[in-house]
Structures are given as structure tokens and as C-alpha cells.
Chains A and B, each alone.
Chain A
Amino acid sequence: MTETAIEFLDVVKRYGSATAVDRISFSIAKGELVTFLGPSGCGKTTSLRLIAGLELPTEGQVKIAGRDVSRDPASERNVGMVFQSYALFPHMTVLENVAYGPTIRGVAKAEARDRARAILDQVGLAGLEARLPSELSGGQQQRVAVARAIVQQPDVLLFDEPLSNVDAKLRRKVRAEIRDLQQRFGLTAVYVTHDQEEALAVSDRIVVMKMGQIAQIGTPAELYERPASAFVADFIGDANLIEGQVAGGMFRAAHLSMPVEAKDGVVTATIRPERIRLAPGGIATIVQAAYLGSRMEYVVQDEDLEFLVSRPISDPRLTAGDRVDLQIDPADLILVR
């Protein structure tokens, strides 16, 4: 079994009467990049700050590299953190910013600067050492923040929504850089975001959180293909949610009825928009049609049910008011309870 880098055991964090993190447990292996994903207020940032030591748990244990650090303040843990706002010190040069950590931890000034230079070189900022953060572009500032976080070879590297201040166009590039850096240095990383596409793109595993609890943990493919709940299905990518029931091997909802392999009971069936095919001339009506460049998106009214359907642009183009037949392969239905 691989070595465990971070472990949460029944961790609870309360602020007064509000519970931000509600008894969660998970572990992160060494060298893994794990993302906390969820809507705002789900406790993902609090979880990250619990790892950093910027918050201490109300109950439970936080372990880093096998050691219980639940009562240790941030300064006594070995973590690196990249902040949403980068939090570069405006009164220090780029070099001083990166050398700050080693200097604080008692490394001789000259050596601290050498280390800082080496890291700045690695992240492609050689030559900018003497600049003040305010004299850098946003992307460069972000790389300084990353360099500063990894210069001390932390047990874990933490990212708090690192792309939220990056230009939309640059995000793809920067997240690839982050992923590349993490792999190159073999770092354990925890990443917080509310953007599911970003999470799918960078993570080894994703922790989906909802109201302070873990909704599901899994690889991006597992979460997308086998969501454990309607919430996860809806949050990761788009999904049509159909409430109905299973009886005698058949799923029924409104006029739909499809063979499934499941026990009897009330369920929600989910189906991805791109899994539904449309054939001309049926009883369903296209209510909305949106041209999205790479694909078409339709809202289709089928008696009482409304479906979101996504089709490649190469399919025959349909317009609002067209009559279509919805074709769903029962194998694409995912039933959650």
C-alpha cells in the first residue's frame, strides 16, 4: 500500500453553532493531487485550512505524514500554500518573498537566497528576482506564489482556488503548469475549487463536498460515470434527473418505462445530455435550441418530462418547434437513491 500523506479522522469544525465541517474522514496518498470540490459554503476551504493549520479542528484528528498535528499551529506544520490572492508580500522583492520561508526556519541568508533562485529558475522566473510583486503580471505573480510555497519541500502543497484571479483564457495553461510542477517534484497536493471542469482536469482524485460532509470520493472518471447521488451527478457535468420508481425490474417515471437491474423502490435516474439521441418525427417537442459552436444544446419537452440534450454539431440541425423522438439506451441510466 502507498504511503499516507494526509489523514482526517472524524474531523469536525464548528464556528459557534454553525458547523462548517461535519465529521469527515479520508486519506490522501503521497504524491497524489486531490481536489476538494463543491458549491460555496460546503466546507472545502475550511478543510484546506484545517490541513494548513490556519484553523484547528473542534473534534477529531488531522494527521500529516503520520503525525497528529491537530493542535499544532500553521507555523509548526510543514505545509506550503498558494492563496487565492497569492498573498505576496508587497514590501519584499520576488527573491525576498521566496527566500522568506527558509530564512524564517533558520537557513543562512545566502543559502536561502540560493535555494530561492534555484526554484525561481525552475518555474521560469529567472531574471525577475529583484522586482517587486506589483511589477509583475498576474501569471508571474502566481508562479512566484507557487515557488514560495514549494521552496521548503513541504509535506503537502495547498492550493486555494488558485485560478480565480487568472484570466479566463490563461486558466487552461496555468492549471497544466500546476499539474506539471506537482508531478515533476512528486508533491502531495490538495486543491480547492468550485469549478468542476478544473477539478476533472487536474485531479487524481476528487472529494465532492456538500454541507460540510463528503458526498463522494473518487477519480474524475468514477465521479462522472458512476455518481453516488443525484447531487454528485448534477454537480459534476450536466445531468437529467428523473424521479421515479423501480418495480419488477422496470424503471417507471411518468410515461417512461425501461428495463433496469435494480431492487424495487423509489429512485432517481440520471442520464447525461450527450447520451440521449434524437430522431426526427416523434411525440417530443424541441422547446429551446442553442448553438454552442462545438455542439448543439436542446431542451426537449416529452409530455411531463423535460430533457437537456447535447448533440455534436455534425448531427442534423434542429430548431425550436421540431418534433423529435427521444432515444435512451437503458444501459446509460444511472440509478441513485
Chain B
Amino acid sequence: MARFSLTSDRAGVAWLGLLALSLAAFPWYKGVPLVSGPASSALAEALSGRGWFWPLIAAVAALGMVSLTRRWQQSMLALGLTLGALVVFIWQGFAVGLRGPSAEWVGAAFALAGDGQAGLGWGGFLAGIALVGLLSDLVAARGFCRGERFAAFCITAIVALLTVFVFFPILKLGVAAFIDPDGNLALATFWSRLSAPDLWGMRCFVGAGRCGVVVNTVVLGVLSASLATALGLALALLVNRTDFRAKRALRAISILPIITPPFVVGVAIILLFGRTGLVTGWGADLMGVRPSRWVYGLPGILIAQVLAFAPVTFLVLLSTLEAINPTLEEAARTLGAKATTTFRTVTWPLLRPGLAAAFLLAFIESLADFGNPIVLGGGYEVLSVKIFFAVVGARYDLGNAATLAMILLALTLIAFWLQMRWMGKKSYVTVTGKSDAGLAAPLPPILKIAVLAVVLPWVVFTLAVYIIIAAGGFVTDIGRWDLTPTLGHLVTAFRFEIAETGLELYGSAWDSMLTTLWVAGIAAPLTTLVGILTAWLVARQDFAGRRAFEFGTMLSFAIPGTVVGVSYVAAFNIPPVDITGTAAILIICFIFRNMPVGMRAGLAALAQIDKSMEEASQTMGAGGATTLRRVVLPLIRPAVFTALVYSFVTAMTAVSAVIFLVSARHNMATAYIMGRVEAGEYALAIAYSAVLMIVMILCVAVIQFIVGTRKLGRRQELQGRAATEPAE
């Protein structure tokens, strides 16, 4: 009996111990080497005059006293002190900034505050972790998560991480929109930025004038989403409702955009349709069409986006079509409806919620897209690109970038909200679980012709783009139809020699390639971990605020990459969390951008697994962590694989947020490619992209080999058999 209470006490005491160590034994500030130890700890700093540490130290000392009493973990006093410590911990970080105190009374109270303070270092981060751990332990002791310490810790930690790395930056960005660089409230500036004519202008509709950037963004989003939805619908109908043979090939093509690095599709389109493009050239030669720059601007971006988003809408609409119970259509036929009438009166209405979902999904993607507009935009400005130039361009104007980012965020959230509402109410689920034997009605002939008329050009177009990508890097100049094979571009990028000193890498792309590989390699498992953990918490743990928790994680997915990038610049350039220019900020950015995909994969897998298996494990004495490792993870291995692959590939091809966060030391492949595109070195960009795609495919194969899915396949087969056999 004593054994149990002892174990329970230990967790809390351990967190408290770590907290004390972080204050007394580790250097508090960033940039101080770990070896300097207690001499530069918070305690030492406090003793040497940095008095703003005293409230935190006092709170921790009081906690130490309380922990000597019996059942201290269940006492209100311990919880109150911990929350107090958390508050003063956060307060001390913001009270004194890099250059001095943030409020006059702080400066008056502490003389040394005038010197300012650096960002958090070893001690600071450890203290944060220990406080979160202690808090989770105390709430678990009070019955949170049914007393499960591990689950309580995971929830507290993820909430803390989301707060620091998702909500805090957005908040900071929001504040930056209202505050001028000197720290004064600047509502007038905000208003003038918000009402600027170059945002909302509508002149393009009435004459030859140009529209504002917001109008441009929305027009692009609506057009792009409409076309992508139409194309996705055609593809889905072709696969689900006709005897079309190459269905597997179609699915394979639909995966391509995921592993295609950004910019390269845009470059291929320029090489095809630009003023000196291949198709343009042939048009001029054969039909006398005068070459023009028509592709730069709305048409070019549209083509590239439709190409990129059609696979997404295709998958959404395919699952909608598959979910329609065929007996409904059969019923219509037996009641005397013709094929076209059935489609119009039964199939189409059932498809509408799926169409809306696909449209909104593509709309959100279009708003967030950065790679295509920056390559193909020409004079057509959209929000994501304008935000980028407000931060990275010659005129650094964070306030303006923040205002634009808030507008983009608002647009996205409205679409996201509509999507949630729509999905929540209007989805006609016609799958009943009963096995209705019915065959999906084949498409009426007229529709079939229409579908083919849409799909075939798309296939030709996709093939053309990918042929350019596949070949472009290995011939002298595909844009001028000079097809002399060459390895010249590859050598520029990836030249290496095996000299006496060992392997020497000379190519200009090695730096970014290696950084990308190891950053993605670290980010992917962490992303998977956080994503799958979150899924497990949401699906399996019953805790106060679970819905809000789920919503918060999903929301972080809806924030456009550009906005995330700017918000990180706004939040993490200055203390207390001062991490720009490090590889850590790239990794953290990837984790929180891609985590929701791991979460969705995990949720889907967990829905298939009987919850009582985990409860069985618990009644046999296993805590949450053991249950997760020994029971849950082995059963959801395919989801782990999906999450790993997706987060790895996305980390390698991501651009919109990353472009703000790369530094000279930590450059990423996509940023390098963007540089080459801007310099007009198209062949080099294409060669690099092709190599990147090959590397990604190889890495995915390696991940598959490590995670392995074979054993599971065998068991599923057995289960399937057992289920069809009668019991004893």
C-alpha cells in the first residue's frame, strides 16, 4: 500500500527538484555555456541585483516547504503556489526586455533592469518545463484525467507548447498591427493601413484599373477553388462511376503534387507558356500568335493552383461519392427516373456537401499559397506575397506585414469556420453499416463525355509539366528546346570530390540540402510524436476542455504559412523566447504546422481500435506511457507511418512559413530554389527539384523499411478470417 502513495509522491517531488535545479544550478540566460553552472543561475543573478527573480524564487521555496507536508499534492496551497510561480515566471520574462524595463515601476524597483536582459537559456527553459510538469502532476492528483499522470502531463505540455508556439505569436502579431515601432498605440496608422486603397480597390471590375490586393486574393481563391473543385469532381466521377481502367495511375498522379517542391511547377509553366516558352514559340511559328506575357498574373497562378489543388478536391469528392448508398440511386431508377434525372435529383444533391467542403479546402489552400504567386504573379499581387515583401523586402515594415497577415488570417478563419459549420450540419451520411448490395449507377453518357473533356486536357498538361521537371535539369536549356544532355546543372549544385582529406562538397546546393535533410529528419519524428499523442489524448482521455483542446490544435492548422512565418518573426526575435536564426525555430515551426495531419491519421486509426484494450492494460498496472508504447502504438503503426512520411515530405517542401525563418547558417532547399528562380536560373532550380524529389522517395522507402507494416498485415488478415468464423 505504501508503495503506491510513494510512487505518486515521487513524480511531484521530481518536478519540484528539477524546478529548484533550473533556478539554482543552470545558467538562466541564452548564450551562456552550460558549464558556467550556478554562477549564472537565476539565484546568482538575483543575488547580484536582478531582483525581478525574487518572486519566482520565493514561490518555489514556499512550494518546497509545502511539499514536506502530507498529501501536499492535493492541497489547494500547492496548486495556488504553482500557478503563482507560473505567473511570475512569465512576468519576469516580459517585465524586463532586451534593452530595459517594460514598465516604469519595474525600472524604479530594480536598478539593474535598465541593462535589460537576454532571452531564456538552459535554466529558463528547464524552469518552464518543470513548472508545466509540476502543474500537470498537481491537477492529476486532484482527479484530472482520472488521475492519470502521464496523460495529464501530455495535455498540459501540449497546451503549453501550443500557447507558446501558436497562440502567443499570433497574439504578438495582432499587437504589432496596432503598435508603432516605438511601442505606442497607433490606431490611426492601423486604420490608414487597413483602409488603404491598394487593399480594397475594385477598379479592375469596371475598367482597366487594378484591384486591391485583398480583392485579388479573394478573386484568385474563388476562381481557383471553383476550377479545382470542378476538375476534382470530374476525376472522382471518372474513377467511381465509369469503367475507366487506369484508376490506380490516376491515384498515383494525385500524390505527385505533395512531393513536388514549390516553384518548380511555376517554372515549368513559364517554360511552356512564358513569352519565350515552348508552346508560345510553337504558337508563333505555326499559327502566328504574337508572343505575350499573358501567363504572368492571374491566368498563370490559376493554372498552377488548379494543378496543385485538384488532387485534394479529388480525394474529398471521391470519398463523398463512395459514401453514397447505391440503393438510393437504384430506388430512383425503380421509381422510373432516367439516368440523367437520377443524377440530377439524387446523386447531385447528395454530392453538394462534399462539393462545398472541397471548395473551401481549395479556397483555404489558395489563400495560403505563396510559391505559385511569387513565381507567376507578375503584377498581380496577393496577400501572401505582399506580406513577404513587407518583411523581407527593402522596407522592413512589421506593422504593415502584421496588418496584412491579420486580414489573411481573418479570411482563412472565415472559410475554416464555414467549413466546420458545413461539415457539421449538412453531411448526409448514407452509410448505415448494413451491407446493402447495390452497384453505383454508371454515369449518363453525356456527363461521361463532359468528364473526359475536362480530364484529358488535365492529363496532357500534367504530363507536360512533369516531363519538363524530369528532363529540364539534365539538358542544356529546355526553355529554348536545346536538348543536349548535360550534367552541368547538377554539377553546379552538387559537385563533390573524394580527396585525401575525405569527402569534399563543393556544389552550391549542398548546404541547403543537408540542412533540409537533417531539419526534416529531426522534425518528422517529433511532429509524429506530438500529432499521435494529441490524437490519443483527444480520442481516449476524458478531460475538462477536451473540445477546446481539439479545436485549438485544428485551428493551428488553418493558419496560413505566411502568417505563421511573420508571427514567428514578430514573437521570437526578442526575449524572452529569442530563437530566430536557429535551427530550432525551423523544427518547431514544422512540428506545429504539420502536427494536425499526424493527429488526423492517429484519430482515424484509434477509431478502429477498441478502447477497452487500453483499459485492460491499465487495470493490469500499466500507466498511460506504458499502455501507449506497448498496446496503442503497435496497433496504429500504419498511422504512425503516414504521419512520419507526411511530416517529413512536408518539411522538405514547405516554403511559406520557412522563407521567413531561414538564416545564412540554416538555409533550406526551398529557399535556395526560390533564390535560383528569382535569379532566372531555371535549369538549376529544376535540377535541384528533381534531385529533391528522388531523395524524398528514397527517404520514404527507408521510413517504410524501418516502421514496417508487414507483420500487421498478416494479423489483420487473420482477424478478418476469425470474424467470419462462428464462435466455438
Contacts and interface: CB of A to CB of B under 8 A. Distances in A.
Interface of A: 52-56, 67, 71-81, 83-85, 87-91, 100-101, 104-105, 132, 134-140, 148-149, 152, 158, 165-167, 170
B623 interface: yes
A132 B722 CA distance: 11
A84 B726 CA distance: 18
Question: Chain B: interface secondary structure?
Answer: helix
Contacts of A56: 143, 146-147
Contacts of A89: 613, 616-617, 631
Interface of B: 1, 4, 7-8, 74, 141-143, 146-149, 610, 612-613, 615-624, 626, 630-631, 634-635, 711-712, 715, 718-719, 721-722, 725-728
B83 to A, nearest CB: 20
Nearest to A145: B616
Contacts of B4: 72, 76
A52 B619 contact: yes
Contacts of B715: 90-91, 132, 134
B7 A76 contact: yes
Given A72-B147, A73-B148, A85-B612, A54 B635 contact: no
15 contacts: A56-B143, A74-B615, A75-B618, A75-B619, A77-B619, A78-B621, A80-B620, A90-B715, A91-B635, A91-B712, A138-B728, A140-B728, A165-B727, A167-B727, A167-B728
Question: Chain A: interface secondary structure?
Answer: loop
B718 A53 contact: no
A187 to B, nearest CB: 14
A14 to B, nearest CB: 12
A90 B721 CA distance: 13
A133 to B, nearest CB: 8
Contacts of A132: 715, 718
A33 to B, nearest CB: 18
Given A73-B148, A76-B8, A138 B619 contact: no
Nearest to A135: B718
Given A73-B148, A76-B8, A85-B612, A137 B618 contact: no
Given A84-B612, A137-B727, A140-B728, A54 B146 contact: yes
B205 to A, nearest CB: 52
Contacts of A83: 612, 615-616
Contacts of A158: 619
B616 A87 contact: yes
Contact of B620 (A84, A100, A166): A100
Most buried by B among A73, A80, A140, A148: A73
Given A74-B146, A75-B623, 9 more contacts: A54-B615, A73-B149, A73-B618, A75-B622, A83-B615, A87-B612, A89-B631, A91-B711, A167-B726
Given A90-B719, A138-B727, A167-B728, A74 B618 contact: yes
A89 B610 CA distance: 10
A53 B612 contact: no
Nearest to A52: B619
A75 B8 CA distance: 11
Nearest to B634: A91
A104 B622 contact: yes
Nearest to A91: B634
A164 to B, nearest CB: 12
Complex A-B, nearest 4 residue pairs according to Cβ-Cβ distance, in ascending order: A138-B727, A101-B620, A137-B728, A73-B147
Nearest to B144: A56
A74 B619 contact: yes
Nearest to A69: B4
Nearest to B619: A81
